[in-house]
Structure 1
């Protein structure tokens, strides 16, 4: 049996960021993930300058041999209407491929790793958590996404079965002919809101790679909405007529509606395992990175790993992201004050789509980057 001070389950951006942040803390840390890296990860895949700054990524270095698509414009519309295109005048985000991005972040940490290792059992024994009868630690950190096994230990919070966003998407490298014919531009992601405002779809080109997807609250209608969207995009030339493979699904909780507790005795949840995705956009990368850094600060200073000792992390999350709204509150992408037919009008407005939808909901430009404490 190998003892550690903490074990992080999940080696995506949240887990790898936490591991790196703890490298000089003296904490013996183990990072476990069920998959080997690099691995496919279902995600539209863009990161804001705030994420780049927080992680200290050298863009020139990262761009060598990896996809790094500068984004200067957004094309936004409501399905069935003409889209509005806004030019932001400078680079406001970067398109990445998660298989490359996550592998890059993981490679930056020297923390011991057990990859390709599914968590088969977790047992509480003598104040420690024992994983797979092999590794033990007094603290477990859940960083394994919505279905993280550590999150199951804390249990579902009230209303946690409401507003679970289900999404399907596909990412593939276009052929030469497809790339030439594709109307979607690399520097201009397209966002298309569903008419009932319960989700949105996207077309996002990154060089010769194309990512297409749709996320909604109601899973039972997801396939129907996706098929309608794909056919519309094909007919307009926005995407190729022939798509390879099948769309992959994933799920996550929106911050304002999640009911999961963030801590318990010897347990912390970060990233999507904690249900931190931004309520208006569903983006999870920035909240994952920031939650990892906030958790690192608490882990370094906590006198122990009881729920009360770790509650400082929950307080820090609330201070950073705000108080969670009512778990019974409806609405995925838009606040209550935006409802039909007002939404239809607003989505035709250059000012609204730029200042509210893009800069506030998707880019969070009003929120300064979180700088890691040394």
Structure 2
């Protein structure tokens, strides 16, 4: 029977970031993922400035994008179009994000965790938690060869996404309504890419997102209302998704010669609330901790920042054998994201009402003060933030 200080389930951004920080501080970490890396994920593939800065702090690079060993594209801001209403913004003080393939970011960050000392096991599927009374005490997993494994730890971190096995086994996740579904593809031949994330809203819940991801490619995410998404023909999903995007007047010419590479990934529903809980021996990070909507593109930043906030609390928990540091972490995390979460809800609700949405775009667009403020919030543009890598002291 194996035993670690911490088991991290899921090697996405929150999982690899927490594993890297903890392992660098001397914590015995095992990270498990059901997939073989690199693997694609349905994602807008755009890191905002906050996410780029967090990656730099976590991995020890002053400029994370310059340390990437794969193609990427700088993102200087964003543009939102809805009919004739237009809102454009540039991130403040020369800050920038990055567009890049999600599987390459995830692999790069997982390798950083491994180099720091975390043990990373791929193609290892976690099936359930081990319970000791009301406390999570480890996981039952299955090896790549199908062999069951019992692995114990003082803490299990669920970083395994929207459909978290950890959250489901702990009975703390819920399912929201299927308000919409997203279809994500990579395109070549897109005209007019300009170093910005572009959103086109077209009524009936349709939103088209475009972002350059390097090497002449663009990520395109087509979001459709639930009724329209359910009616799509599956025989030629690529053709249907391109057709939906080309139907937006601003994109007709720009996508005329575009072609989809690697097929289309689908995702939804997005509304995955988590019941408030206080379970000893378990912590949820990233999308597993609850997710509402991807419209503002802040998911990866929040995953990384949550890992930064959680790491010192986890070390204190291990040293003191008290659950109190994790309770304090949850309060700190909620307080830090509260303003952004409120704005996220307002934007998503307004986007479902075309007249109000276009009016809001015009009003904000007339004020450089409002535009700059909005750009800074949505970009999670960093102020002076330090990441102290915690050190696990010997007992």
Asked if TM exceeds 0.5, the reply is yes
SS at match of 1:41: coil
1:38-90, Cα deviation, whole Å (9 max, x unpaired): 22122111223332323323548745641221123433201x44655555684
1:19 Cα offset (Å): 0.8
Name the counterpart of 2:26. Answer: 26
1:145-164, Cα deviation, whole Å (9 max, x unpaired): 11111111232457x42477
CA contact (8 A) 1:73 1:88 kept: yes
TM-score by length of 1: 0.80
Unaligned runs of 5+ in 2: 142-148, 233-239, 390-395
CA gap of 1:263–1:134, structure 2 versus 1, over 3 A, is: same
User: How far apart in 1 are the matches of 2:35 and 2:28?
Assistant: 22
Name the counterpart of 2:140. Answer: 131
Unaligned runs of 5+ in 1: none
User: How far apart in 2 are the matches of 1:88 and 1:24?
Assistant: 32
User: How far apart in 2 are the matches of 1:239 and 1:59?
Assistant: 36
1:13 Cα offset (Å): 1.0
1:177-192 correspondence runs (5 A): 178=189, 182-192=190-200
CA gap of 1:339–1:240, structure 2 versus 1, over 3 A, is: same
CA contact (8 A) 2:47 2:97 kept: yes
CA contact (8 A) 2:177 2:269 kept: no
SS at match of 1:247: strand
Name the counterpart of 2:123. Answer: 116
SS at match of 2:125: coil
Name the counterpart of 1:10. Answer: 10
1:161-310 correspondence runs (5 A): 161-162=176-177, 166-172=181-187, 174=188, 178=189, 182-195=190-203, 198=205, 200-207=207-214, 208-215=216-223, 218-222=225-229, 227-232=243-248, 235-238=252-255, 240-244=257-261, 246-251=263-268, 253=270, 258-261=273-276, 263-276=278-291, 281-302=296-317, 303-304=320-321, 306=323, 310=326
TM-score by length of 2: 0.76
Name the counterpart of 2:38. Answer: 38
CA gap of 1:286–1:192, structure 2 versus 1, over 3 A, is: same
CA contact (8 A) 1:168 1:250 kept: yes
CA gap of 1:243–1:295, structure 2 versus 1, over 3 A, is: same
SS at match of 2:207: strand
CA RMSD of aligned residues (A): 3.6
1:238 Cα offset (Å): 3.5
CA gap of 1:24–1:100, structure 2 versus 1, over 3 A, is: closer
CA contact (8 A) 1:138 1:305 kept: no
**Bigger Cα displacement from structure 2, 14-23 vs 221-230:** 221-230
1:316-355, Cα deviation, whole Å (9 max, x unpaired): 11221128989xxx96734669955232233346346981
Say how many residue pairs are matched.
357
User: How far apart in 1 are the matches of 2:89 and 2:217?
Assistant: 22
User: How far apart in 2 are the matches of 1:290 and 1:235?
Assistant: 38
CA contact (8 A) 1:277 1:283 kept: no
User: How far apart in 1 are the matches of 2:209 and 2:258?
Assistant: 16
CA contact (8 A) 1:73 1:87 kept: yes
1:372 Cα offset (Å): 1.5
User: How far apart in 2 are the matches of 1:252 and 1:371?
Assistant: 35
**Larger RCO of the pair (alpha carbons < 8 Å, separation 6+):** 2
Which structure has greater helix proportion? 2
